[in-house]
Amino acid sequence: MNGASGRRVLVLNGPNLGRLGSREPDVYGSTSYEGLVEACTALGTELGFAVEVRETNDEGELVRWLHEAADGALPVVINPGAFTHYSYAMRDAAAQRTAPLIEVHISNPYAREEFRHTSVIAAVASGTVAGFGIGSYRLALRALAEELGG
């Protein structure tokens, strides 16, 4: 499923992100998950990307999506959610990347509980964008366009 013409990009979201808009709006804002999808696909089109936004609460599914990206040399923007802090399986899958991979977070993990200060993904990512709300995804997509020479 390519959607708009352009380079295919996966925007992958981990646990609880499908609950945006209702989940802790003081931390994650009031934009719904549907609003996130619309923002990512609209900016993607502007940047010449065919953006596919996905969300799962299943660690194995996220790992399979990272394998798909590695096998297809697909750039990735990923918000691993809670998996950020402890999923070595996801870290190992992300390390197999064959295209840029940018980690994003809606909130600033360093301004929150101490367990959120560690990311096992960051060391294998091209970069990390955090703390700008839904804007973190926009910044990541723009950084991806830069990385890809667009």
Structure tokens at 93: 């899958």
Find out whether 5 is annotated in a ligand binding site. Answer: no
Strand order in the sheet with 127-130: 49-55, 7-13, 76-79, 101-105, 127-130
For the annotated catalytic residues, the residue numbers are 28, 105
Find out whether 112 is annotated in a ligand binding site. Answer: no
Residue 74: name the closest of 11, 123, 17, 149 by CA.
Answer: 11
Find out whether 121 is annotated in a ligand binding site. Answer: no
Find out whether 138 is annotated in a ligand binding site. Answer: no
Which helix (H) or strand (E) covers residue 49, if one does? strand 49-55
SS3 of residue 104 by DSSP: strand
Find out whether 102 is annotated in a ligand binding site. Answer: no
Find out whether 79 is annotated in a ligand binding site. Answer: yes
Binding-site annotation: residue ranges: 79, 85, 92, 106-107, 116
Binding-site positions for substrate = 79, 85, 92, 106-107, 116
